[in-house]
Amino acid sequence: MTTPSTPDPDEPTRATEPAQPSEPSEVDKAEELRAFNIREQDSAWRAVAYLLTGPLIYGGLGAIADHLLGTSWLVGAGIVGGMALSLYLIWFRYGTH
């Protein structure tokens, strides 16, 4: 039966070299680019959705308030306010990176 040998404490130890980062392959680069493009495309469609839903929702709330209060100016105020909030949300979400 053999016993495992222990390293001699007087023997200098060799430092292991850190592994060199390997260059990503063409397939990895293509996959990373595809994932980036999908994220950017999703961001663009979200921005369009914000631009449409803000004025629609707040314009609709203004129309309901106009009907209940007997006024005629809250629809316009709701549309303008909804657009302003939509633009602010887009700037806050995507413009501060």
Q: What is the pLDDT of residues 16-69, one digit of tens each?
A: 666 666 787 888 888 888 888 888 888 888 999 999 999 999 999 999 999 999
Mean pLDDT of 4-25: 66
pTM exceeds 0.85, yes or no: no
Q: What is the distance between the alpha carbons of residues 75 and 60, in angstroms, rounded to a whole number? A: 7
Q: Is 86 exposed, middle or buried (0-12, 13-18, 19+ CB in 10 A)?
A: buried
